[in-house]
Structure 1
Amino acid sequence: MNPYIYLRSLRHAEHTVFGVQNGQKFYTDVQFNRKQAYSSGQQVKRSIMDMLTSSLNVMPAPITFNWVIKKEGKTLDASQREAWAPCDPSYVDQLLGGYMKAEKDNSVIKRRSPLSISAMRPLHPLLGGLEQEGELSTFDRTSHPNHHPVRVSDEKGNLLSEEQLQEFLDTTGRNLSNRLLVKEASRASGLFVYDVCVDLRTLFCVSTNKLEPELSTEIKDKLLAEGWIETSNVFGPCLLAPKAERERYIPALAHTLINWRITSNQSRTFSLMETLALAISDNANHLAGAIRARLDEEIERKAHPYLDYDAGAKLFVTYPAEGYIRGAINPTADALQRAEQDIAQRLRDFDYENQVAG
């Protein structure tokens, strides 16, 4: 049995922002020379882990944030050092999301995530991009001027007296209203895809190789006491999560891989980002063929989304796809639920306990 599950999802994003702190992230496509909005693989992974712990109603692993206080003369200063993960796979976000901890004695414990997650980016450079609303927008409360006060101060933060304020207004002829000009960021719209590869060999298995440790001795002993199973995979000896835990995680993971939502940005730019189609296969090339774009043969620099039902992947198509993709055959209301069931069954079918032939 192929030890990989590959998934590609096609979503429609409408006038939204994937990242807020420094505006919408983008790169430039070298062939079509167009700016492409994207959500990084790290952001997608974080959103998946957030939804996974929420779906299971469990807390994420506690992360320790390290600060160092230094005294130079009479001055105290604080500097932040690397955050520490507990490196404990009994937390589901550590088991599936991976971790790393580097101690000051140079010892490193790390686990690579069994989920490889791509950035969410346009299906084709001509099918997604950025819009700019303009340099400025207005935060306006002039409709109720007496309810929203205007505070006027000098450079040191001292409030101006009535006489000083009147002198300023008379001298400059300025208006000081309760309206604020806000610099606008760009917005993303179009058809976007993300890809996920699940490595079943390491999904629920944690290596006990002492030369490249994924576990401390204390955590290993703790897991054994909690019923983890000593076994082996192609990478060597490992500990396997108990079957009861695997059965609890599988439906939640299948649901989350399809239904995650970006959790860091949507307070002011919400978009449904509805799923139009989803392809599942044990062959990565089948995904690229099943959900792809075609260049228009007659109109230059125009592309169309295309679903290929004969490319080798299992396709699940939702009703909204009819509004964006010609030839979206047999969309169904339960497409995503059936996709969840398909992923969950593939996860259950793998023999985690007997990966290496005797």
Structure 2
Amino acid sequence: MKTISLLGSTGSIGTQTLDVIRRNKDIKVAALAAGTRVKELAAQAREFKPELVCIGSEKLAGDLKTELADMDVRIVSGSEGLIEAATISSADIVLTAVVGMMGIVPTIRAIEAGKDIALANKETLVTAGHIIMPLAKEKNVHIYPVDSEHSAIFQSLNGENKKQAEKILLTASGGPFRGKTIADLKNVTVEDALNHPNWSMGKKITIDSSTMVNKGLEVMEAQWLFDVPAEKVQVVIQPQSIIHSMVQFVDGGIMAQLGSPDMRLPIQYALYYPERRPLNTGRVDFFELGKITFEKPDFENFRGLKLAYEAASQGGNIPTAFNAANEVAVRKFLNREIAYLDIPEMIAYAMEQTAFKENPDVAQILETERAVTELLESRW
């Protein structure tokens, strides 16, 4: 019996994780943490009976206590509560599916406490990979990727000599605006951008997928997870979302992981690695599929991806500036405060204006985030 702490339990990844647990019945839930969805979290607590639940604020914790008044469960809140959930003694593994940079400190604390990490919060490695990966090695902690692309790379490397990998081929669907030009993108609405052709995801990651910023974040995450420079991570547009990513080796051989687009597969693989368990995902019918096509990424019309490679090349705290600017921009776009094409503009401006720090500690990372947020809030 494995025991899990799930951070971000009411989001897309969190609810699919609970579905995997529900179907397998041999993982105990020690802690659940969510942001604002009190009733959803309360329903999850009733079903999975954790020792501890965490909600985003003290006020919401009061509402949650009312909802769960008849249950014997400890209720905590805020960033300190999130750390409590991440470090709860009974958990073997922590699945981090919170959105944004709030995942950094709880992930670090969980690793320090000796917990294995199932990682669905890419911002943690984008901004603090230089801290996270050496710490995991020091503490002998495993980090299992949950993103479908990074899970595919992880699976493709399984049983191989990682030092013989020549290049990572990171696939992307191209999102809802594949083939569009800058002129086409000028009047994109929130509803347009949320209409992803293949994947069902939360609002923030869906917008990121439409701008290709998400793929840029995945490039930066991959360089830390698999210890390769960003220039050895090549993005390949694969619109059918059947090949989830590939690894090319020094002899020219390529290993790929294929499957229907269903996040439960990488979630289950991370939770039960190295075991593969039955899963009722759709099966790929190659005769019905007919073909799988490939395209080069469009760096000019989707500037977010180009900026991500620039941020990775500069390193230091510049990936933090990239990520923080994107978080502000996406929030403003979803609130209909800015235009769609303002998103890459804000990212570029933040990167230009950020004072470079070569090897930032956690405090400097969070300070960079704060400074970028203030900068952009005052200008846009």
Tell me which of the two structures has the higher relative contact order, counting C-alpha pairs closer than 8 angstroms and 6 or more residues apart.
Answer: 1
Between Structure 1 and Structure 2, the one with more helix by share is 2
Fold-level similarity (TM above 0.5)? no
Between Structure 1 and Structure 2, the one with more strand by share is 1
Q: TM-score range by the shorter chain?
A: under 0.3
